[in-house]
Amino acid sequence: MTTRFEYPFKDNYATIDGVRLHYLDEGHGPVVWLMHGNTTWSYLYRKIITPLVKAGYRCFVPDLMGFGLSDKPEDESVYSLKRHMDQMTGLIDHLGLRDLTVLGQDWGGPIALHYAIAHKENIRALVLLNTFVQRFPANARERREQDIITCPLPPVFPLLFKGAYSSFLIRHMDFFRKFVWLKWKTGNPSKLLGAGFRRPVDPRAMENYLTIHDTPAKRAGLATFPKMIPNRADHPNAFYVDQIRNELERWNIPVLVMWPDGDMAWKPDEGARIAQMVPDGEFYLVRNAGHFLQEDAGEEVAQRLLRFLDKRIKRHMMQPAVAV
C-alpha cells in the first residue's frame, strides 16, 4: 500500500470482466457503497469513509475502469456505460455484498442506481449527490415540454467534449480536467459557470487527483464519459438513464438527496425536484460547495449522511428489505 495524503486505506483488487478493479472495503456493519464519477476516484470519499467506519458502517468504495487504481485500457472503444454498470454488478456479486445503501455522485449516480433498480431486494436506501436520473434535454424547449429534470448541456460542452476533437482536447491537452478544476488552489467563486471546487484544495490532495491521469494514455476513461451523456432521445444511453426516473417515482425506499449550491453541472432545484419526485425523499443543500462537494465539504456530508443512516438504516436493520 502506497502512502497517500489522508488515504490510510488498504488497497483491494478483483478481476471482473477481464479488468483489474481497485476498491476499498473498510469497516464492519451495514454496507454503504460510495460511487465516484468522472475525473475522480475513491480518493474523493476519504473524508467520508473514516466517520462512517467509526460509526459502525462498512464502506465499499470502488474505482471504475479507467479511474483511480483500476486498469486503464487505452482504447476508448472498450468503454461504455453498460460495461461500467456490469463491472460494478460483477464486483458486488464477487464480494457477496448484501443489504446495500447506495450512494452515487456525477456518473456514479446512474451506474449505482442501475444496479439498485435491478436488485431492489438487496437495497436498503439510496443517497444521491449531484447527479442525474433522467437524460439531458436537447434544449430548454424540450425540457419544458417533456418535464425533464436536468437542464440542457451548455452549447459549448458538446462542441468541446463530445465532438470530433474531444479526445485530443481531453487526452492530449488535459483540457477537461483543467476546466473542471479551474482555480482549485484558491477556490472558484464563479456564479456564472459554477465550480468543481468552491474551496481551496490542499496541494497534497490535488496531487493524488492529478497523478491518476498524468499521461494521455491513461485518459481514455476521461474522454469517453462526456460522449456517453444522453442529451437526446435517440442517444444509446437514454434508455438506461430514463429508466431510473421511471423506477424511482414509484419505489418506496428511503432517499436522501444532497446537493451543492455551486455546481457547474447541476443546479439545486434539480436535486430538490428529485427529492420531491420519490415517495420517501429528503433534500439537503450543502452551501459553499462545488461539483465535488465530497472534497469541499466532506465532513458536513458525512455528518448528514450519518444522521440519515442512523435513523433510516440502523433503526430498521432487523426488518427485511421489501422490493416494490
List pLDDT tens digits, range 282-314.
999 999 999 999 999 999 999 999 999 999 997
Nearest to 31 by CA among 117, 116, 131: 116
How many Å separate Cα 135 from the centre of its chain?
A: 15
> Rounded distance, CA 21 to CA 63, Å?
7
- Whether 136 shows a pLDDT value over 60: the answer reads yes
> Rounded distance, CA 71 to CA 238, Å?
27
Question: What strand order describes the sheet that includes 12-16?
Answer: 12-16, 19-26, 58-62, 31-35, 100-104, 123-129, 255-260, 281-286
Given a contact cutoff of 8 angstroms between Cβ atoms, the answer to whether 129 and 109 are in contact is yes
pTM: 0.96
The confidence score (pLDDT) of residue 1 equals: 46
Output the nine-digit C-alpha cell for 151: 437542464
List pLDDT tens digits, range 190-228.
877 789 999 999 999 999 999 999 999 999 999 999 999
Confidence of residue 317 (pLDDT cuts 50, 70, 90): low
Q: Is the dihedral of CA 132, 12, 97, 118 positive or negative?
A: positive
Nearest to 104 by CA among 82, 131, 67, 135: 131
CA distances to 22, 36, 47, 64 from 70, in Å: 5, 13, 21, 7
DSSP reduced 3-state for 55: coil
Q: Give the β-pairing of 58-62 and 19-26.
A: antiparallel
Q: What is the average per-residue pLDDT within 2-18? A: 95
> Rounded distance, CA 106 to CA 258, Å?
12
